[in-house]
Amino acid sequence: MYLKHNIVGWFEIPVLDMDRAVRFYETVFEIKLDRRQLGPLEMAWFPWVEGGMGSSGSLVRSEFHKPSENGSRT
């Protein structure tokens, strides 16, 4: 099977401590996250490379986004 488009279009990683999470991901991946306040959401967007493979996403902190001790769940 050949895919013409990425399967995943966006991901969000819920965090409790945005400063700590940003330091971690910027250090591990050697990137710069773009931090934004969008109403009640505090977000830090991962960089997107136009035409690159994979998807982009963000760290997100709000009263509705809570990390799970069991990881992401569907």
- Model pLDDT for residues 16-71, shown as the tens digit of each residue: 999 999 999 999 989 999 999 999 999 999 987 776 666 788 999 998 888 877 66
Q: What is the pLDDT of residue 55?
A: 73
Domain that holds residue 26: 11-48+56-61
Q: Which helix (H) or strand (E) holds 43?
A: strand 41-45
The band of 72, judged by pLDDT with boundaries at 50, 70 and 90, is low
CA distance 51 to 8: 14
pTM to 2 decimal places? 0.77
For residue 34, tell me if it sits in a domain.
Answer: yes
For residue 39, tell me if it sits in a domain.
Answer: yes
For residue 73, tell me if it sits in a domain.
Answer: no
For residue 38, tell me if it sits in a domain.
Answer: yes
What does DSSP say about strands 41-45 and 57-61: parallel, antiparallel, or unpaired?
antiparallel
Q: What is the pLDDT of residue 66?
A: 81
pLDDT at residue 5 greater than cutoff 70: no
Give me the number of domains the chain comprises.
1
